[in-house]
């Protein structure tokens, strides 16, 4: 495919490149080249080898020129984004830091260890090939139910789609209105319950909330109970709405509070809109964490979506089968390849190092499979056609769904550096929702921004007035009016939720009830199933 460029713009880029290249050569001849401001080339070994140092600078300069060419290409914006993504992938892959022959730091390690680093690197590579994925952490350090997902509780309901966990209270009194948490079905729920010191679930329980958690099943190719044919409608009705009914029954309340995270938030909002259309109003307040309702601008993920790709997925998976966890994990890792791929290639294989133990990265590698029909529907109706925000466009078992019918108080959270759900895309949920709304933005990314316990006193968050109205483009107005606060947004959210949770009452020690008796201890069987 030929890409149209302006001759004048190309000449300008070439002239700028030539001038910068001559300046690099002059500095190299004078011995004045400094280490680049790029952590791939930050080790002192690069400065100790002038030829390698010049090569690193030349690589970075060439990359800048290529990106400028993409920026000036006379192509539609969606094509430009695909070009930008493809060039970024290629440039990151061919970086001289990724190869032993062109990485003086890895060579220095090889000499220092008398070859042991290379031997260990090869062993690390073979181990990863057996596991089927690149190791980002010491996975031997963690076990779900032993040092991850250990907040005490009981599974009080299960069906072929999910288990429902009720957590044991940690306070003498609890708020009357319970909280149901709906995590994404593309990941395991324990991202919200890693270890006691960074567990969102434990924090909520410690604040006096009665917390229920949906634990989605991890389907396998060997399953014969119909889950491989599960649809979007199944996840709404037999998943989210069923969980709500169980929590209502156990609590004895007609209205509960509900929180959805990422795809879990999209499922939750859709299920509540379906309930509204059926004359039901089961939720007192709604919390959405890094959630997309309006898929008009989904950031870098847009590069994967077009009619041809979605049509192919529908033919492949629309009638049954699985989208495997390893494919999802690979896709998300290559959204940030330097941090989540090549960094580990260099350290694990070229230098023979073992990655440190990190609970968040263990969770990241512990993926889930998705039923094909669910995934195919989701891909077309959200990322491709953005149907959820069109009133009545989505029909579930004959019932048109309108997210604009949601009028309960809503707390909407986005992370400022989120590359999966850009904060402005999270903010785009605000005009969709019609009740009292609060938008909060946290620092950091999709996961680290959410998992930010107050005790560590890290990062910050922004709170501003509701200026959305029906204007999807009002995110910048919100940010201009927002105030920055140090620390974690968790306490701000807890105070907000307390205002929608009623009075406190004495704790009932028994979990579940006569209809929904405890089945097994948390975290349950479903979350322990490994994707294969």
Tokens of 8: 């004048």
Is-contact 506 172, C-beta < 8 A? yes
User: Which distant-in-sequence residues (6+ apart) come within 8 Å of 510 by Cβ?
Assistant: none
| Length, in residues, of the chain | 532
Dist. CA 268–CA 235, nearest whole Å: 10
Pairing of the two strands 153-158 and 460-463:
unpaired
CA angle 267, 190, 345 (to 5 degrees): 105
Catalytic residue among 258, 262, 275, 365: 262
Dist. CA 32–CA 517, nearest whole Å: 73
Is-contact 396 274, C-beta < 8 A? yes
Is-contact 331 383, C-beta < 8 A? no
Q: Which of 85, 55, 79 is nearest to 67 (CA)?
A: 85
- For the question of residue 262 being annotated catalytic, the response is yes
Residue 444: CB atoms within 10 A of its CB come to 18
Three-state secondary structure readout of 465-522:
CCCCCCCCCCHHHHHHHCEEEECCCHHHHHHHHHCCCCCEEECCCCCCCCCCCCCEEC
Q: Which residues are catalytic?
A: 262
């Amino acid at each position: 495919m030929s890409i149209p460029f302006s001759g004048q713009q190309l000449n300008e880029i070439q002239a700028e490149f030539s001038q910068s290249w001559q300046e690099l050569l002059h500095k190299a001849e004078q011995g004045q080249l400094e280490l680049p401001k790029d952590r791939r080339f930050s080790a002192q070994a690069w400065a100790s080898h002038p030829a390698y140092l010049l090569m690193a600078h030349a690589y970075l300069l060439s990359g800048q020129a290529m990106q400028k060419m993409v920026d000036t290409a006379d192509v539609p914006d969606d094509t430009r984004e695909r070009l930008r993504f493809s060039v970024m992938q290629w440039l990151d892959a061919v970086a001289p830091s990724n190869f032993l022959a062109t990485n003086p730091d890895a060579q220095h390690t090889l000499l220092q260890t008398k070859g042991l680093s290379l031997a260990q690197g090869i062993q690390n590579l073979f181990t990863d090939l057996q596991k089927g994925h690149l190791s980002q952490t010491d996975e031997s350090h963690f076990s779900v139910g032993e040092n991850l997902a250990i907040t005490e509780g009981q599974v009080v309901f299960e069906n072929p789609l999910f288990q429902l966990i009720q957590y044991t209270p940690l306070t003498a009194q609890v708020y009357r209105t319970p909280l149901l948490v709906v995590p994404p079905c593309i990941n395991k729920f324990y991202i919200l319950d890693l270890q006691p010191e960074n567990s969102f679930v434990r924090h909520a329980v410690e604040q006096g909330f009665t917390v229920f958690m949906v634990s989605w099943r991890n389907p396998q190719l060997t399953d014969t109970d119909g889950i491989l044919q599960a649809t979007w409608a199944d996840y709404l009705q037999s998943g989210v709405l069923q969980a709500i009914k169980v929590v209502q029954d156990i609590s004895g309340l007609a209205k509960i509070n509900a929180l959805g995270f990422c795809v879990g938030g999209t499922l939750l909002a859709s299920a509540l809109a379906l309930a509204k259309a059926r004359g039901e109003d089961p939720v007192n307040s709604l919390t959405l964490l890094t959630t997309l309702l309006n898929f008009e601008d989904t950031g870098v993920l847009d590069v994967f979506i077009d009619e041809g790709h979605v049509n192919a997925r529908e033919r492949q998976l629309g009638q049954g089968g699985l989208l495997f966890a390893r494919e999802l994990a690979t896709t998300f890792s290559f959204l940030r390849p330097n941090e989540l791929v090549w960094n580990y290639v260099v350290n694990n294989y070229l230098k023979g190092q073992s990655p440190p133990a990190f609970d968040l990265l263990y969770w990241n590698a512990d993926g889930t499979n998705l039923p094909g029909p669910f995934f195919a529907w989701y891909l077309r109706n959200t990322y491709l056609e953005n149907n959820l925000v069109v009133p009545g466009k989505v029909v579930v078992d004959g019932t048109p769904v309108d997210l604009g019918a949601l009028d309960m108080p809503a707390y909407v959270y986005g992370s400022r550096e989120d590359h999966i759900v850009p904060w402005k895309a999270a903010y785009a949920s605000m005009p969709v929702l019609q009740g009292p709304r609060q938008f909060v933005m946290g620092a950091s990314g999709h996961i680290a921004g959410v998992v930010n316990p107050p005790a560590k006193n890290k990062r910050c968050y922004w709170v501003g007035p509701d200026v959305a109205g029906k204007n999807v483009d009002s995110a910048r107005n919100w940010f201009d009016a927002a105030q920055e606060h140090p620390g974690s947004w968790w306490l701000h959210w807890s105070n907000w939720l307390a205002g929608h949770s009623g009075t406190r009452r004495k704790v009932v020690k028994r979990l579940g009830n006569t209809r929904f008796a405890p089945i097994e201890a948390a975290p349950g069987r479903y979350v322990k199933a490994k994707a294969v």
